[in-house]
Amino acid sequence: MKLTEQELHTLSTRTVAHYDQNAEDFFIGTRDHDVSQNIAALLHFIATPGPATILDVGCGPGRDLKTLRESGHVAIGLEGSERFATMARSYSGCEVWQQDFLQLDLPPGHFDGVYANASLFHIPSQELPRILAQLQACLKPDGVMFSSNPRGNNEEGWNQDRYGTYHDLKSWRAYMAAAGFIELAHYYRPPGRPIEQQPWLAMVWRKLPESLAGERPEAV
């Protein structure tokens, strides 16, 4: 069933309010998480010889922004939660844009990489093609996008006060290909565990060259 504009507004504001209200606890609980595998996966495929310009979509309190900046890259955060955005600016020393995920305003062809760790799963399925297309458009030619999301069987709905979508690999492949991306790699996390104990699906994609743009498949 298609969500109305009012329902989309409600799910976005309610999800953001949850993070605003739990910002300190979230930061304490996640600041020591080891996601070096994810950052390395993004950087491995970025072709620029110098410091890369990277957009951290859903940067939260700034943990990965700080790592990217300290690695010598130009990192900019994007965050829906006002509390997280404030924390991220202070903690990382980076520029952070506060924007609703459903109302993005991004410069075209600006970034070498987009890093979306545990954020895109909050976007309802009906809006995902539009948002992915906007992220694709903000990348430079040959730009790279990384995302990691909790996997599932293509269900979506409320988990307490957070809205989430839980796609499988086949579904993500269809959405990403339709948005103009070529798959580079995927893996499951945490590493070193049986797949039934790896709830996170990580993927790396490259922006489709303009010469191949007419070959995009339809989204699911």
Confidence of residue 206 (pLDDT cuts 50, 70, 90): very high
Mean of pLDDT over the chain: 95
Q: Is residue 92 part of a domain?
A: yes
> Which residue do the tokens 């970025």 mark?
46
**How far apart, in Å, do the first and last CA atoms of the chain sit?**
15
Q: Is residue 38 part of a domain?
A: yes
**Comparing 218 with 2, which gets the higher pLDDT?**
2
Domain limits at 22? 5-211
Whether the pLDDT of residue 211 is over 60: the answer is: no
Report pLDDT for 213: 58
Q: Is residue 158 part of a domain?
A: yes
pLDDT tens, residue by residue, 26-42: 999 999 999 999 999 99
Quote the CA–CA distance of 71 and 30 in Å, as a whole number: 20
Share of the chain above pLDDT 70, in %: 95
Number of domains in the chain: 1
DSSP for 16-31, please give it. Answer: HHHHHHTHHHHHHHHT
Torsion sign across C-alpha atoms 35, 36, 38, 42 = positive
Read off the CATH number of the domain in which 178 is found: 3.40.50.150
Report pLDDT for 205: 98
Report pLDDT for 58: 98
Q: Is residue 216 part of a domain?
A: no
Quote the CA–CA distance of 57 and 47 in Å, as a whole number: 20
Neighbour tally for 170: CB within 10 Å: 9
Q: Is residue 183 part of a domain?
A: yes
pLDDT tens, residue by residue, 99-131: 999 999 999 999 999 999 999 999 999 999 999
Q: Is residue 217 part of a domain?
A: no
Pairing type for strands 162-166 and 200-207 reads unpaired
Query: Of the candidates 167, 118, 127, 98, which has an alpha carbon nearest to the alpha carbon of residue 2?
Result: 127
Q: Is residue 218 part of a domain?
A: no
Confidence of residue 210 (pLDDT cuts 50, 70, 90): confident
Whether the pLDDT of residue 212 is over 90: the answer is: no
Q: Is residue 110 part of a domain?
A: yes
What pTM was computed for the model?
A: 0.94
